[in-house]
Amino acid sequence: MRCYCCSSKSFDECCEPFIKGDKHPSSAEQLMRSRFSAYATAHYQYILETYTKEKQQGLSVEDLAQSAQGATWFALKVHPTLAASSVDSLVGNSVSSTEDSSIDSTVHADAKVEAVTNAEPISKTNLKSISKPITKPITKPNNAIVEFTAYYFENKSMYQLHETSNFSVEDGKWRYHDGVLHDDCGKIKYGRNLPCVCGSNKKFKQCCATKSR
Ligand SMILES: [Zn+2]
Ligand SMILES: [Zn+2]
């Protein structure tokens, strides 16, 4: 089945390995997506563990489960304004084996471009260093923001949660810190004949509207 986070991948190739702890998200966006999928599948332990240490204080699995009660999370839209950054370079090779290979290769491609751009006028030494695999860590930000809209049903009504979230890296792993809600949060009416919010290209009434309860 398609992943709960509405990516083009299946659940077991997208968010499930993160929720099960087999892999760690390599970007803030991946973490955000996996947290959405954890809400959709009621994995509150994962929600708790992926908060920053500061925010974990005073939270419990029971609190999280309680606050999510009654909501059926059914679709996620990630707003494309900000590219997610990767912790790959911060943690070196220690987690690269657990990372999504497509993301991994993007990071290395970027690193190469950066190295070429920063290069001194070409000399034999520079050529040598460019052609070699880059082992020197490249400084990447420890913080990232992701804007998204998550959709849920509650008491047969449809709601949206539109948030810009702050993420940071702790011990080499992306963590959710907090977020700012936008003014358009709340109950919404969505046309049954409109294309579904999940991006399936089906009409809403033939797609996610059937999950309303
Ligand atoms: Zn996913
Ligand atoms: Zn849908």
pLDDT (average), residues 105-111: 43
Residue % of the chain over a pLDDT of 70 = 71
In the prediction, which pLDDT does 81 show? 65
All residues with CB under 5 Å from ion ligand 2: 196, 198, 200, 207-208
In the prediction, which pLDDT does 138 show? 57
Q: Find, among 88, 2, 80, the residue nearest to 37 by Cα.
A: 2
Question: In the chain, what are the domain boundaries?
Answer: 11-85+141-211, 93-131
In the prediction, which pLDDT does 133 show? 54
**What pTM, to 2 d.p., does this model score?**
0.74
Using the predicted structure, report yes or no on whether residue 15 has a pLDDT greater than 90. yes
pLDDT (average), residues 78-86: 64
Q: Which CATH number applies to 11-85+141-211: 3.10.450.50, 3.40.50.740, 3.40.50.300, 3.30.420.40? A: 3.10.450.50
Distance 102 CA to ligand 2 centre (A): 26
Q: Which ligand is nearest to the CA of 8?
A: 1
Using the predicted structure, report yes or no on whether residue 64 has a pLDDT greater than 90. yes
Distance 120 CA to ligand 1 centre (A): 42
In the prediction, which pLDDT does 46 show? 98
Q: Which residues pair with 75 in a beta bridge?
A: 151
Distance 75 CA to ligand 2 centre (A): 7
Q: Which residues pair with 158 in a beta bridge?
A: 153, 188
